[in-house]
Amino acid sequence: MHIEEGQLLDFILDSGLVSRADIDQAKTEAKKNNGSAANLLVTQGKITDDEMRRMQAYVLGIPFVDLKTQKVDIEVISMIPEPIARNHNIVAFKKTNDALEVAMLDTEDLSAIDFIKKKTRLKILPRLTDNESMKSALLQYQKSLKAEFGDIIQKEIGSMKDLIAQGAGNASTEAELKKLAEDLPVVRVVDTLLKHAIIQNASDIHIEPLEAEMLIRYRIDGILHDAMVLPKNAAASITARLKVLSNLKLDEKRLPQDGRFKVTMNNEQVSFRVSILPTYFGEKTVMRLLRESVSGFTLEILGFHGKGLNDIHAASKMATGMILTTGPTGSGKTTTLYTVLDILNTPGVNISTIEDPIEYQMKRVNQTQVKPEIGFTFSSGLRALVRQDPDIIMVGEIRDNETASLAVNAALTGHLVLSTLHTNSAAGAIPRLMDMKVEPFLIVSTVNVIIAQRLIRKLSSEKEAYFLSKAEFDHLASIVDMDKVLEVLQEDKIVEKTATWPKIPFYKARPASESEDGFKGRIGIHEILKMSQPIRDFIMQGKTAKDIEVQARKEGMITMIEDGIFKAVQGQTTIEEVFRVVSE
């Protein structure tokens, strides 16, 4: 279904959306590059993707369908496998006796149409749709999969009850537990739990034995949600299965154990970091999901902007020194460092890391995992790394005095060192390093920039705008320097230079088709402390973290809470979400 470009451009001109001058200019540029003038108009922002698709539909005589509010029958949408639908942006939405209507973003994708025709043996009727409709339809796959997984769990739990009734629940030796862990219903239940968590985009799975049942919870966008409740007598077999996958001791139930395994789903590798801890009612398992690719991340996508973004780029261009990220577990510190590494990862440098564990795999980066049980710690690994001729070193975490000393020495001797610390603020990293016996003169000689961060939930696209009342604004202004936030908003051109707070909207979460609570995904809020000469002087004088923070703010640093309000004005989150995650 090819469209003559001249015919399409004539129709775009008739629509009045683009001027003749813009079309003529696009034709001239496209001719030079042997490209498409219509595509160039989209790239230049003269016309949107969706407007272009509506015109293509008209020229081709193909109906245009809007699926944003349309609920598609599970049996119909399932006629196209989810990976095919997602990869080719094609979904089935209506079926008759001999035909299947499919919504597409590209009707020239003949291979997808041919595949579906062979699979269904039906006549395929292509329809064009827009991006939002496609997102909404693909989301329905997840909802139908959740229902399907629930059915599988219930069915297989029934089979497990039969096993337990036959005495399998009394298994205690390693051989008996291994046999139980490899039984088909147990394998299916665990596989289903893992796939369900991946589809839900969970970051952690908690499997918790209670007095009379076993609770499964998923952490999604930083919040724990109950996923399902299973019978208490299923606990031993599910834990045994996870121990087999993680290569742990099956008959050890008194001591904590840590392991790791991988699964592949929809051509994506997901690594599970497993921690098993004995509790009063049995063994509790927590699994951290790590998607083994950081491609596509940029500092801007992670939420960095303005002066702070420039400070990080400047620090990453230095040949020596330290870039530190700080924050609690699960605040995105490692992802930030990997993104900086991705920027630095060029053929001219040698990058080596020492991590616990290796959370993402990166091409052309030499990654090493510590093994404390055999004496291979951060400090011993770092000693070996500096003899490997690295230009850039990433230390997963500075946990002790020896690692801190080695990292500082590496930064002094011609290496750029990236690492993480557990502190609440950027300025708080200074006393933490001193607590690890790093001398002040070494801190001021090596540290280039310190990034403190948290992750906050992002609003979905169906949010609701509102304006602060005077009382609400006064309360907010008593906690946050709103003049500073407004200044940064104006500098970054988020609001007009003449904008005032009464006319600047904030946003509330609203239940949406893509999210029940109105939130989807997470983004970072940050404070970036650049090591300036006045701050170096403060450190040498033994000033407190608070004094250092006050000086950094005078030099233009915004705090995490101020960055949160900045992102609330952008419509990325809510004020309440910012205060849930961080408080002054």
pLDDT, residue 267, reads 66
Does the pLDDT value for residue 195 go beyond 70? yes
Alpha-carbon distances, residue 126 vs 59, 130, 417 (angstroms): 14, 13, 54
pLDDT, residue 441, reads 96
- Structure confidence at residue 305 as a pLDDT band (50, 70, 90): very high
Residue 366 maps to which CATH number? 3.40.50.300
Rounded CA separation 112/90 (Å)? 8
Q: Which two tokens stand for residue 314?
A: 């400047």
- Structure confidence at residue 172 as a pLDDT band (50, 70, 90): low
* Domain assignment of residue 160, yes or no: no
What is the extent of the structural domain holding 551?
306-581
Question: What proportion of the chain, given as a percentage, has pLDDT over 70?
Answer: 89
Quick one: average pLDDT of 551-572?
95
497 and 446 within one domain: yes
- Structure confidence at residue 26 as a pLDDT band (50, 70, 90): confident
Alpha-carbon distances, residue 271 vs 180, 290, 296, 361 (angstroms): 24, 5, 19, 10
Rounded CA separation 567/578 (Å)? 9
Rounded CA separation 222/458 (Å)? 11
- Structure confidence at residue 295 as a pLDDT band (50, 70, 90): low
Return the higher-pLDDT residue of 292 and 191.
191
Measured over the CA atoms of residue 543, residue 547, residue 549 and residue 551, the dihedral's sign is negative
Does the pLDDT value for residue 129 go beyond 80? yes
Model confidence pLDDT, tens digit, residues 319-346: 999 999 999 988 999 899 999 999 999 9
Return the higher-pLDDT residue of 558 and 31.
558
Select from 332, 321, 343 the least CA-distant residue to 407.
321
Model confidence pLDDT, tens digit, residues 564-574: 999 999 999 99
Q: Are strands 321-326 and 416-421 parallel, antiparallel or unpaired?
A: parallel
Collapsing DSSP states into helix, strand and coil, what is residue 421?
A: strand
| DSSP single-letter state for residue 371 | B
How many domains does the chain contain in total?
3
- Structure confidence at residue 503 as a pLDDT band (50, 70, 90): very high
| DSSP single-letter state for residue 396 | S
Quick one: average pLDDT of 348-356?
93
- Residue where a domain stops, chosen among 113, 135, 157: 135
335 and 247 within one domain: no
382 and 340 within one domain: yes
Most confident of 7-11, 64-68, 141-145, 372-376: 372-376
Return the higher-pLDDT residue of 231 and 452.
452
Residue 231 maps to which CATH number? 3.30.450.90
174 and 127 within one domain: no
* Domain assignment of residue 153, yes or no: no
Q: Which two tokens stand for residue 15?
A: 């629509």
- Residue where a domain stops, chosen among 291, 325, 341: 291
* Domain assignment of residue 113, yes or no: yes
473 and 351 within one domain: yes
Amino acid at 317: K
Amino acid at 217: R
Quick one: average pLDDT of 423-445?
95
**DSSP secondary structure letters along 178-240:** HHHHTSHHHHHHHHHHHHHHHHTT-SEEEEEE-SSEEEEEEEETTEEEEEEEEEGGGHHHHHH
CB-based contact 381:354 (threshold 8 Å)? yes
198 and 104 within one domain: no
* Domain assignment of residue 43, yes or no: yes
* Domain assignment of residue 300, yes or no: no
The beta strand positions in 280-424, using DSSP E, are 282-291, 321-326, 351-355, 365-369, 392-395, 416-421
222 and 116 within one domain: no
- Structure confidence at residue 357 as a pLDDT band (50, 70, 90): confident
Select from 91, 99, 138 the least CA-distant residue to 117.
99
Quick one: average pLDDT of 303-327?
95
79 and 10 within one domain: yes
pTM (predicted TM-score): 0.70
426 and 562 within one domain: yes
* Domain assignment of residue 151, yes or no: no
pLDDT, residue 210, reads 93
pLDDT, residue 206, reads 96
Select from 53, 43, 70 the least CA-distant residue to 12.
53
Residue 99 maps to which CATH number? 3.30.300.160
Does the pLDDT value for residue 112 go beyond 90? no
Does the pLDDT value for residue 406 go beyond 90? yes
Quick one: average pLDDT of 93-114?
85
Amino acid at 190: V
Return the higher-pLDDT residue of 558 and 10.
558
- Residue where a domain stops, chosen among 135, 152, 177: 135
Model confidence pLDDT, tens digit, residues 458-483: 998 778 899 999 999 999 999 999 99
**DSSP secondary structure letters along 479-537:** TS-HHHHHHHHHHTTSS-TT--GGG--EEE---BTTBSSSEEEEEEEEEEEE--HHHHH
Q: What number of other Cβ atoms are within 10 A of residue 514's Cβ?
A: 17
**Element at 172 (helix H, strand E):** none
Select from 175, 356, 198 the least CA-distant residue to 262.
198
356 and 324 within one domain: yes
Model confidence pLDDT, tens digit, residues 42-72: 777 777 776 777 777 767 777 888 887 777 8
Alpha helices in 89-183 (DSSP H): 110-120, 131-165, 174-181
| DSSP single-letter state for residue 70 | P
Rounded CA separation 524/164 (Å)? 46
* Domain assignment of residue 429, yes or no: yes
CA 389 to chain centroid, in Å, comes to: 33
CB-based contact 88:156 (threshold 8 Å)? no
CB-based contact 299:312 (threshold 8 Å)? yes
350 and 229 within one domain: no
Quick one: average pLDDT of 549-568?
96
pLDDT, residue 157, reads 67
- Structure confidence at residue 529 as a pLDDT band (50, 70, 90): very high
The chain-wide mean pLDDT, for the chain, equals 85
CB-based contact 355:365 (threshold 8 Å)? no
* Domain assignment of residue 426, yes or no: yes
pLDDT, residue 482, reads 95
Rounded CA separation 265/272 (Å)? 13
207 and 286 within one domain: yes
- Structure confidence at residue 73 as a pLDDT band (50, 70, 90): confident
Does the pLDDT value for residue 293 go beyond 90? no
Quickly tell me which residue has 């990862």 as its tokens. Answer: 345
CA 325 to chain centroid, in Å, comes to: 17
